[in-house]
């Protein structure tokens, strides 16, 4: 028998999880990015196209949960959930481990806050969930099905009806968490590609006429998506892919681009206060999904361009605009992997 003070070790494989998530976050091909940006600039709802990394992140986390539950049930037996919670409660936790602690209760962070379930209450709450789930299993009007965990490297484990239901609740809490936190998993990467595509489609050259990923400095304390050369210096451009569920561009973002700066947004509602706020900051807001966003950007920038720098007038019909995007090299649509 091992000494009583021997620490129980269990590898949650967080590093492997992160590697898999990184692949999911970087899963857009240049052709997919081109399709997303073309959809955006032609007035279509592009969000179903940007859903791919989120779906894949959900799948990665689901696979991770299955593997953790499988190995924990082998190592800890029937008390695998309790042992995992105890293990996670006495170590410095990564973000994934903090989520898992709550998922072991069948909760998301938001739900835990609403219920007033604090970290020192996790053990008691988990015990209450176990009692409740066991009661439900006894009350069911059908014989409950179970989940059997198996893979080529581990022995098969048939979970009890109660644990099978609990595992589904863990997965459900995970889906809600990931969809809430990873919905913009590649958002910033896409924003840079949008800025690059728009400016290159107007005939401008990166590194000569515009620059991306401008770090903070004495003038602006936050990163800017792009800066563009003008007659009197440079203006700043930032992307805000806000949808109908979030109709405000923050004062911070409007102030960040500064006077004559540009904020490219997804779509604004008729009652949005964004145009009025932008006018107060002397910032130009352009809706990408208004079908003529590239033309509006061209009209705004043309009189600001330095002498000798001519920008191309973009086509206004989808067929010719698609041809412009198709003629751009794949490198324009390649997302960073870091």
> pLDDT at position 133, please?
95
3-state SS of the chain?
CCCCCCCCCCCCCHHHHHHHHHHHHCCCCHHHHHHHHHHHHCCCCCCCCCCHHHHHHHHHHHHHHHHHHHHHHHHHHHHHHHHHHHHHHCCCCCHHHHHHHHHCCCCCHHHHHHHCCCHHHHHHHHHHHHHHHHHHHHHCCCCCCCCEECCCCCCCEECCHHHHHHHHHHHHHHHHHHHHHCCCCCHHHHHHHHHHHHHHHCCCCECCCEEEEECCCCCCCCCEEEEEEECCEEEEEEEECCCCCCCCCCHHHHHHHCCCCEEEECCCCCCCCHHHHHHHHCCEEEEHHHCCHHHHHHHHHHHHCCCCCCCCCCCCCHHHHHHHHHHCCHHHHCCCCC
The pLDDT tens digits for 109-144 are 999 999 999 999 999 999 999 999 999 999 999 999
Compare 214 and 150 and report the one with higher pLDDT: 150
CA distance 335 to 186: 9
pLDDT digits (tens, 9 = 90+) for 70-103: 999 999 999 999 999 999 987 778 999 999 999 9
* Structure-token match 């091909």, residue found: 29
Distance CA 289, CA 197 (A): 15
Between the CA of residue 332 and those of 29, 40, 201, 287, what are the distances in Å?
11, 16, 10, 21
Q: Would you place residue 217 in the very low, low, confident or very high pLDDT band (cuts 50, 70, 90)?
A: low
Looking at residue 2, what is its pLDDT?
Answer: 45
Looking at residues 249-262, what average pLDDT do you find?
79
| Cα 225 versus chain centre, distance | 17
Please state the domain extents for the chain: 51-181, 187-330
Local confidence band at 54 (pLDDT 50, 70, 90 cut-offs): confident
Average model confidence (pLDDT) for the chain? 87
Counting residues of the chain whose pLDDT is more than 70, the rounded percentage is 87
Asked if the model's pLDDT at residue 247 lies above 60, the reply is: no
- pLDDT score recorded for residue 268: 79
Q: Give the CA-trace dihedral at 151, 156, 162, 164, to 10 degrees.
A: 20
| φ, ψ dihedrals at 30, nearest 5° | -55, -35
Spatial separation of the C-alpha atoms in residues 219 and 70, rounded to whole Å: 53
| Confidence check: pLDDT of 181 > 80 | no
Architecture field, domain 187-330: 3-Layer(aba) Sandwich (3.40)
Share above pLDDT 90 across residues of the chain, in percent, rounded to a whole number: 57
Q: How far apart are CA 293 and CA 40, in angstroms?
A: 9
């Amino acid at each position: 028998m091992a000494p009583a003070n021997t620490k129980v070790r269990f590898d949650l494989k967080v590093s492997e999880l992160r590697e898999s998530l990184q692949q999911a976050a970087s899963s857009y091909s240049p052709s997919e990015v081109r399709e997303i940006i073309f959809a955006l600039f032609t007035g279509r709802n592009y969000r179903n196209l940007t859903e791919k990394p989120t779906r894949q992140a959900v799948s990665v986390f689901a696979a991770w949960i299955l593997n953790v539950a499988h190995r924990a049930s082998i190592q800890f037996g029937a008390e695998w959930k309790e042992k995992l919670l105890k293990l996670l409660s006495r170590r410095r936790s990564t973000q994934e481990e903090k989520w898992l602690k709550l998922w072991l209760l069948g909760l998301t962070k938001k739900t835990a806050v609403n219920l007033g379930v604090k970290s020192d209450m996790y053990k008691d709450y988990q015990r209450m969930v176990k009692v409740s789930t066991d009661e439900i299993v006894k009350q069911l009007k059908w014989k409950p099905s179970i989940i059997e965990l198996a893979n080529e490297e581990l022995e098969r484990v048939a979970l009890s009806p109660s644990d099978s239901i609990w595992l589904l609740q863990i997965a459900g809490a995970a889906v809600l968490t990931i969809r809430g936190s990873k919905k913009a998993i590649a958002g910033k990467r896409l924003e840079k590609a949008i800025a690059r595509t728009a400016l290159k489609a107007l005939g401008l050259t990166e590194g000569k006429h515009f620059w991306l990923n401008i770090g903070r400095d004495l003038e602006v304390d936050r990163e800017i998506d792009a800066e563009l050369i003008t007659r009197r210096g440079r203006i700043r451009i930032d992307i805000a892919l806000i949808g109908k569920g979030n109709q405000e561009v923050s004062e911070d973002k409007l102030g960040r681009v500064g006077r004559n700066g540009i904020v490219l947004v997804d779509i604004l509602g008729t009652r949005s206060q964004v145009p009025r706020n932008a006018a107060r900051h002397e910032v130009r807001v352009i809706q990408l999904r208004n079908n003529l966003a590239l033309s509006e950007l061209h009209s705004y920038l043309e009189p600001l361009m330095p002498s000798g720098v001519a920008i191309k007038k973009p086509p206004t019909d989808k067929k010719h605009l698609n041809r412009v995007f198709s003629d751009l090299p794949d490198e324009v649509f390649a997302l960073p992997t870091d």
